[in-house]
Structure 1
């Protein structure tokens, strides 16, 4: 009986605890090399999609001349996300934005740099000369993503950066919990043809070579739970032993009481 109890205790201990290697991010699992090679083309320029909000800011030597092209100074430092929602240019279902005076401009599938060049060229061709020293900036009104599952702070988040890695998104959301599966983090991404789902192993440094390592606006990130969470025996060795000892004590007490009856 004692042997059975010891075996059961050891088996539960090794199967219930979460190994340390499952908690460490971006490990170099190739023991033959100490270096990690990262592909330079892992992050490609984002191409604008419908429902994106774009901030367009136009400057010139005489700012009064370009004031009519901008309904506000949305996108300037200190502007809140709520203000950008109302002052930015939303890409409609046809892929167009409506800019004062310039009218509708199709931006669907274009990069931000391409949109900037188009607006700048139209201004110079139709309204200004080179001497005006136009300076046009086009940015996304924040990079919004939604993260759910085994994460410290789930929900929709906004980061005011041009590029955001999934590691930054996770850190901004309170990190993955101990019971979160870092080896199977799913990213659901919107494309013109629909949605695609991809899985990333964040414990492997090779994840940095994935085109999904850099998140895009409106990405949905799902962190699945480990099996240990449903077992309820604890996430550490101490918790597991304490749970099993408590269960054995309860069983022993029940057996003793039944014999005394």
Structure 2
């Protein structure tokens, strides 16, 4: 009887320990010391095929600038008080990484940063067509995909191109308690190739990662932890077995009193 009691006590302790989740497994940025010299707040948006670019050109001569701006159209909104909102037609970056720009024709933009494209356009327009030109470029379909063990997985379109991995996870409602913080996967297209990065959200070294600042169409995947996977793979027979085992332990404990 004493041996049976010891087994019951041992099983009870195991169940209690298994039900506890260590804070070390879920707290963000708890490990490592930040290397401030390796941290950079500089981020560069690199244009890619399928980007929609809104490019506006202005100069001292308003009339001369008109041919270099696509027409503005009225688009519907979800706001009850607004029927339509003026918006400039965007340029589509084609599969070759080019846009068809007025007067200048096809321009290669894929693989270039915003600053590089702006400087290129200024060099082409000034002084032959425009003087003292100002050019603004923004991506209108900047989005990231957040998948896996998060509260609200999905695709998120973001108006601000300066987006960190924490911004994206916040939009998705943060990780569930069963999501792995130590092995988050980010996939990105670079130079026509798919690249994978693994990051640990618990480490301050995340600040120095090349994927801390996201790029358009990045995919973030949060893996389920072992307990969640085991729970998903269990079936009704497993649940029945656990119930019977619990009942037997209860009966034995009553008999041995």
Smaller-chain TM-score bracket: 0.7 to 0.9
Matches of 2:252 and 2:7 in 1, distance apart? 16
- Tell which has more relative contact order, 1 or 2 (C-alpha 8 A, sep 6+): 1
Sort the Cα spacing of 1:10 and 1:42 in 2 relative to 1 into closer, same or farther, 3 A. Answer: farther
Contact 1:187 1:220 in 2 (8 A): yes
Aligned match of 1:148: 147
Matches of 1:251 and 1:84 in 2, distance apart? 72
Alpha-carbon displacement from aligned partner over 1:197-216 (angstroms, at most 9, x marks no partner): 11110011111111111111
Sort the Cα spacing of 1:5 and 1:64 in 2 relative to 1 into closer, same or farther, 3 A. Answer: farther
Aligned match of 2:82: none
Sort the Cα spacing of 1:85 and 1:255 in 2 relative to 1 into closer, same or farther, 3 A. Answer: farther
Matches of 2:145 and 2:87 in 1, distance apart? 17
Q: Select which of 2, 5, 8 maps to 1:2.
A: 5
Alpha-carbon displacement from aligned partner over 1:4-56 (angstroms, at most 9, x marks no partner): 122122223323432112111111445xxxx6536244755232221222111
- State the shift of 1:180 in Å: 0.5
Aligned match of 1:120: 122
Aligned match of 1:87: 89
Output the aligned Cα RMSD. 3.2
Q: In the TM superposition, what are the counterparts of 1:67-78 in structure 2 within 5 Å?
A: 67-73=66-72
Q: Select which of 106, 109, 114 maps to 2:108.
A: 106
Sort the Cα spacing of 1:97 and 1:48 in 2 relative to 1 into closer, same or farther, 3 A. Answer: same
Aligned match of 1:238: none
2:47 partner SS? coil
Aligned match of 2:235: none
Sort the Cα spacing of 1:231 and 1:94 in 2 relative to 1 into closer, same or farther, 3 A. Answer: closer
1:15 aligns with 2:18: yes
Q: What TM-score comes out, normalization by structure 2 length?
A: 0.79
Matches of 2:157 and 2:136 in 1, distance apart? 20
Q: What TM-score comes out, normalization by structure 1 length?
A: 0.78
- State the shift of 1:149 in Å: 0.5
Sort the Cα spacing of 1:172 and 1:6 in 2 relative to 1 into closer, same or farther, 3 A. Answer: same
1:215 aligns with 2:211: no
Aligned match of 2:167: 168
Alpha-carbon displacement from aligned partner over 1:52-96 (angstroms, at most 9, x marks no partner): 22111112234333122111359xxx9x9xx99992111111111
Alignment length, in residue pairs?
234
Contact 2:183 2:223 in 1 (8 A): yes
Aligned match of 1:49: 48
Matches of 1:157 and 1:51 in 2, distance apart? 16
Aligned match of 1:187: 186
Contact 1:185 1:200 in 2 (8 A): yes
Q: Which consecutive residues of structure 1, in runs of 5 or more, have no partner in the other structure? A: 234-244
Contact 2:45 2:161 in 1 (8 A): no
Aligned match of 1:204: 203
Sort the Cα spacing of 1:197 and 1:61 in 2 relative to 1 into closer, same or farther, 3 A. Answer: same
Matches of 2:88 and 2:180 in 1, distance apart? 38
1:208 partner SS? helix
Contact 2:180 2:223 in 1 (8 A): yes
Sort the Cα spacing of 1:14 and 1:253 in 2 relative to 1 into closer, same or farther, 3 A. Answer: closer
